[in-house]
Chains A and B, each alone.
Chain A
């Protein structure tokens, strides 16, 4: 099925989702309310059968945060991108980790680097950076920290001399 047909299929099931015909890859935009239901339908409907979540990415746009998920069905040999947006004042989207288990780590990465939270996630810790890191590096307003513990991260020459 093409993404457009998949979108019509979801809409006929009563799920609020819009089709965006962007080049080269079109995507389906869900609302915060319809996001979880859309994911469950995409996974469980026998005509859609998206067993696999290939990637989940967090993005920051000027006015909102976005989560883009790429799904593939090896059984039906089709794929689709679904997105959901949340405001910057409340950067929280529902988790997909109870739909596709692998989303757990992807959502931890999005939390780590972009700083959005995932409601319902069981274990939302940093996954790449140290747990006591300050800030989220892929935010547009991020300013790098100069030290971590006793390790300098600036381009200055070392102040201490070794023997």
Chain B
């Protein structure tokens, strides 16, 4: 990606490769297995048989090296924030982040008096999709994945992602 970045205008080759890359990336989103609080329970429910996120090609991976996206599912404390950032930095490009639930979006109920809570994970790592809810239902998480799909389909290899 980085070699050809910014060197070509969109042409027939670039756009064809884009279509292939974006199709494959958006249809096999592998999140890192990683949960922080009660939102993680809903995330697990999304992965389980009733909602079955695997039918969308979303399959949790046990290591950041194999992951495409990260679901920040729960309250990010300062102590955990350092670990979240380290996991994010260990993921290979291209990578995306879903902030799941009020806590990951903005601190949620800990907005005012949470002395140890980061007020939104976007203070630590860049976030692509925000899912509101406390916690969001599995349908909302799946909707977030579909939104992320739409975003990935706008990517081009001739520019940086996003």
Contact = CB atoms under 8 A, between A and B. Distances in A.
A149 interface: yes
Contacts of B107: 155
Contact of A144 (B111, B115, B122, B124): B115
A148 B111 CA distance: 16
A153 B126 contact: no
Interface residues of A, number: 17
Contact of B124 (A130, A145, A151): A151
B124 A153 contact: no
Given A153-B78, A163-B160, A137 B115 contact: yes
Contacts of A130: 78-79
| Dominant secondary structure at the B interface | loop
Interface residues of B, number: 20
A152 B118 CA distance: 7
B122 A158 contact: yes
B123 interface: yes
B160 A153 contact: no
A162 interface: yes
B147 interface: no
B84 to A, nearest CB: 10
A154 interface: yes
A119 interface: no
Given A129-B79, A137-B116, A144-B115, A152 B123 contact: yes
Nearest to A131: B79
7 contacts: A129-B79, A149-B78, A149-B82, A153-B118, A155-B112, A155-B119, A162-B125
Interface of B: 78-79, 81-82, 107, 111-112, 115-120, 122-126, 160, 162
Q: Nearest 5 CB-CB pairs, A to B?
A: A162-B126, A144-B115, A148-B78, A158-B123, A155-B119
